[in-house]
């Protein structure tokens, strides 16, 4: 029996299908979920969310939120999630460069520094996910 995966953001359902395995970026490290996994509730960090289905691996970028695993149902509620082909790599490069400039110039406050670090992390996840798609072609 496969896993039923749903990835939902406040705006839309990004993914819904029966899949063979997922590897999720939990806040304390990547966790792999196969069918018959024990119930699990965890927070997610920004990272690569891998989905294996019929021998094909797809990678989504996800940014925070929660994952609930119960009875072969995996529900991910996240602030934002993108398929690799939806990612605008130029926009992510620009976001990365902006954040790096703020960090290099010395941010004006701890809050600015935290914001720039979070933006940098999001941009790097997007670039990795976008890159993983190009590698597979």
Site residues (vs ligand ATP, CB under 6 A):
63, 80, 82, 86-88, 91-92, 95, 119, 122, 126
User: CB-side exposure of 112: number of CA atoms within 13 Å?
Assistant: 11
**First-residue to last-residue Cα distance in the chain:** 30
Please state the closest distance from residue 101 (CB atom) to ligand ATP, in A.
13
Nearer to ligand ATP, 68 or 119 (CB): 119
Nearer to ligand ATP, 53 or 115 (CB): 115
- Structure token digits, residue 133: 């798609």
Three-state DSSP at 127 gives helix
86: region left, alpha or beta (phi > 0 left; psi from -120 to 50 alpha):
alpha
The two structure tokens encoding residue 63: 């940014």
**In this complex, which beta carbon is closest to ligand ATP, that of residue 33 or of residue 120?**
120
The least distance separating ligand ATP from the CB of residue 114, rounded to whole angstroms, comes to 14
Q: Compute the least distance from the CB of residue 23 to ligand ATP, in Å.
A: 21
The smaller minimum CB distance to ligand ATP, of residues 33 and 60, is found at 60
């Amino acid at each position: 029996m496969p896993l039923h995966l749903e990835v939902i953001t406040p705006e839309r359902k990004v993914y819904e299908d029966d899949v063979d395995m997922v590897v999720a970026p939990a806040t304390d490290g990547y966790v792999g979920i196969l069918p018959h996994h024990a119930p699990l509730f965890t927070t997610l960090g920004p990272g690569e969310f891998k989905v294996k289905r019929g021998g094909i691996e797809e990678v989504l970028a996800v940014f925070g939120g929660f994952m609930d695993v119960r009875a072969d149902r995996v529900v991910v509620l996240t602030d934002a999630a993108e398929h690799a082909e939806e990612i605008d790599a130029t926009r992510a490069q620009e976001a990365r460069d902006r954040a790096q400039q703020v960090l290099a110039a010395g941010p004006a406050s701890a809050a600015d520094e935290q914001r720039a670090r979070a933006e940098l992390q999001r941009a790097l996840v997007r670039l990795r996910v976008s890159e993983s798609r190009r590698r597979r072609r």
